[in-house]
Structure 1
């Protein structure tokens, strides 16, 4: 996702050789891009649900279940990147040096938050590496714990917050980028809603208290809720 956004920002020029552009007009390009977002977002959300995981475990060994999920998500993301149709209709353009510095600074902050947040919980478990490694070493996996380290005390989903900053922080916003930003933001909101239902089922009242105290995606917007204590 980060590399794809770099291409949209015209930084990732090295990716131009592995993309496919079609002469399908403005409406066709918009429809194809929305379809690509759906191809990425729907499997990403459905495969993360516990009901689907139970079905998947009948086919895929549990130790590589998460790795298989990451593989499918990666394939859909590569598809999104390769077949995305650029639409150069300009929405905004910060031409001043200050405007560009501000936009890129927010981008880097978002990138840092997204990456750091994966390590705050368990980076290697997130990508399915820890599960496979534990299986090879015949190490018993620990029961899931409810943790709220550092960034998680400011926002319930810091990685998603970081990704939102990344996809919106650009000095030059064209229509193609805007479609991506809106589509991915909606996907994040919808996916987070279903994820939180699973978390509430797993952790019960402890998570519900956390949910009432800490904002979902925007830090400091607590809407008069009590701040969670350490």
Structure 2
């Protein structure tokens, strides 16, 4: 019974993380915080990033502290092959985070020079609209196939659902921000998986 309960808690924690992440990034919530915080609102993005990092760390600590059953055995040769997409996903995540750390983390509030708001269409954005999400999904699913424990599978499922829904919510904000320019971009480049037929959804 504790095994089942722990895995239910794990799913709930990942779900709560996704809900809070989306809520705190929502435009209507930011407007509320802006009215409440006043001039201190400029620190909201940075505080949000710190909270997201700490809560993510907490969920991961719980996930890997849970005793979880192995779903199937993976041959060593298969594990070695799967290391390649896992490393590619990790590399993509690293490149994107490094490139956009200044704006993604909110640390720019501590600098006088603010990063310009532009619609990025070069680099990996030529192949997929959300390269960070693609890299994340590639990494976590490859990791699950290498280490097919139930806790990893549940985490992958919840993260994937949240990522798809979150990407759609984010794109509504991007359309509002960049207008027809982003609508055209959506028709040319797939959302999450390179090579797929582009969709405006």
1:208 aligned partner: 183
Unaligned ranges ≥5, structure 2: none
Counting matched residue pairs gives 194
Partner of residue 101, structure 2? 123
Report if the CA contact (8 A) 1:63-1:132 is conserved: no
Q: Structure 1: where are the runs of 5+ without partners? A: 1-23, 226-230
- For normalisation by structure 1, the TM-score amounts to 0.78
> Which protein is richer in helix relative to its size?
2
CA 1:87–1:168 in structure 2 vs 1: closer, same or farther (change >3 Å)?
A: farther
- Following the alignment from structure 1 to structure 2, what is the Cα–Cα distance between the partners of residues 200 and 155? 16
Structure 1 segments (4+ residues) deviating >3 Å: none
SS at match of 1:173: coil
Counterpart in the other structure of 2:11 = 34
Q: 1 CA distance for matches of 2:197 and 2:138?
A: 19
Alignment of 1:81-96 (within 5 A): 81-84=60-63, 86-96=66-76
Q: Which deviates the most, 98-107 or 54-63?
A: 54-63
Aligned residue among 125, 132, 152 for 2:110: 132
Which of residues 91, 112, 122 in structure 1 aligns to 2:91? Answer: 112
Q: CA RMSD in A?
A: 1.9
Q: Name the counterpart of 1:43.
A: 20
2:190·2:196 contact (CA, 8 Å) conserved in 1?
Answer: yes
TM-score normalised by structure 2 residue count: 0.88
Q: Are residues 149 and 93 of structure 1, via their aligned partners in 2, closer, same or farther at CA, if it must alter by over 3 Å?
A: farther
Which residue of 1 is the match for residue 161 of structure 2? 186
* CA apart distance, 1:77: 1.1
